[in-house]
């Protein structure tokens, strides 16, 4: 088994902050910056599981170069629930990944305050799908534009992070992705700061109530909706504490 690998990031610049994020998550890892977009990793001391996790981190980051470094090494297995609602979130995230019937549309919509780990779970569930050999479509809602090519197909996996406004153009992304999964099978995971019914009302402002009811009837049955609460992980782990 090859224990030393050289990774060239196609879309990302290598920084000391990037390197240190890997080293914090994997204390037994040895790594050096080779160039502005290349890192050499020595995985010899890592367990097989950590080695696989590291390779997933690298692949996911290269596919999503705008990912904040705080979520670079996020996985379901290193999310630490602090209360019952967070435990329930982790349970349903794992259940969503475990579903085998690709013809069925299924989704999880979680909402709650900032800093409770929504993006951690979004990235973690993406990597869990990757462990199954799938390539999830990960999208920050606020970075969606009309020029984004969705290429909607049957059985796709979509993760939409921070879907916080039904008035934004990301509402078009949400509607198209969810209806595609409902009608053609697939998985959808959505995080938001906003309660589901409130988001739906915003999305259908100016539209008929009948269209809203029809849309909710088709899609709400496919979503498990979870409200997650707790204190901010960011504030809890602030440097000045």
| pLDDT at residue 75 in the model | 97
* Per-residue pLDDT band at 240 (split at 50, 70, 90): low
Please write the tens of the pLDDT for every residue from 164-185.
Answer: 999 999 999 999 999 999 999 9
Helix (H, G, I), strand (E, B) or coil at 33: strand
| pLDDT at residue 238 in the model | 66
| pLDDT at residue 239 in the model | 61
Residue spans per domain, the chain: 4-69, 77-233
CB neighbour class for 185 (10 Å; exposed up to 12, middle 13-18, buried from 19): middle
Domain 77-233 has CATH 3.40.50.300: yes
Which residue, 119, 95, 91, 90, is CA-closest to 107? Answer: 95
Bridge partner residues of 159 (DSSP): 138, 189
Please write the tens of the pLDDT for every residue from 17-33.
Answer: 999 999 999 999 999 99
Bridge partner residues of 108 (DSSP): 189, 224
């Amino acid at each position: 088994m090859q224990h030393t690998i050289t990774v060239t990031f196609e879309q990302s610049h290598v920084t000391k902050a990037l390197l240190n994020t890997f080293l914090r998550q994997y204390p037994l890892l040895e790594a050096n910056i080779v160039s502005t977009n290349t890192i050499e990793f020595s995985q010899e001391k890592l367990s097989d599981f950590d080695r696989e996790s590291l390779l997933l981190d690298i692949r996911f980051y290269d596919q999503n170069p705008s990912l904040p470094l705080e979520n670079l090494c996020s996985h379901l297995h290193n999310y630490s629930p602090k209360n019952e609602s967070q435990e329930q979130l982790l349970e349903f995230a794992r259940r969503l990944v475990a579903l085998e019937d690709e013809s069925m549309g299924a989704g999880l919509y979680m909402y709650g305050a900032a800093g409770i780990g929504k993006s951690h779970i979004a990235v973690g569930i993406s990597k869990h799908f990757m462990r199954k050999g799938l390539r999830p479509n990960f999208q920050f809602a606020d970075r969606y534009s009309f020029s984004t090519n969705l290429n909607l197909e049957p059985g796709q996996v979509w993760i939409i992070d921070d879907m916080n406004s039904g008035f934004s153009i990301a509402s078009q992304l949400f509607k198209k992705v969810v209806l595609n999964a409902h009608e053609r099978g697939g998985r959808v995971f959505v995080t938001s700061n906003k309660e589901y019914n409130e988001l739906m009302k915003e999305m259908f402002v100016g539209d008929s109530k009948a269209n809203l009811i029809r849309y909710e009837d088709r899609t709400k049955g496919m979503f498990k909706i979870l409200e997650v609460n707790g204190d901010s992980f960011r504030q809890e782990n602030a440097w000045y504490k």
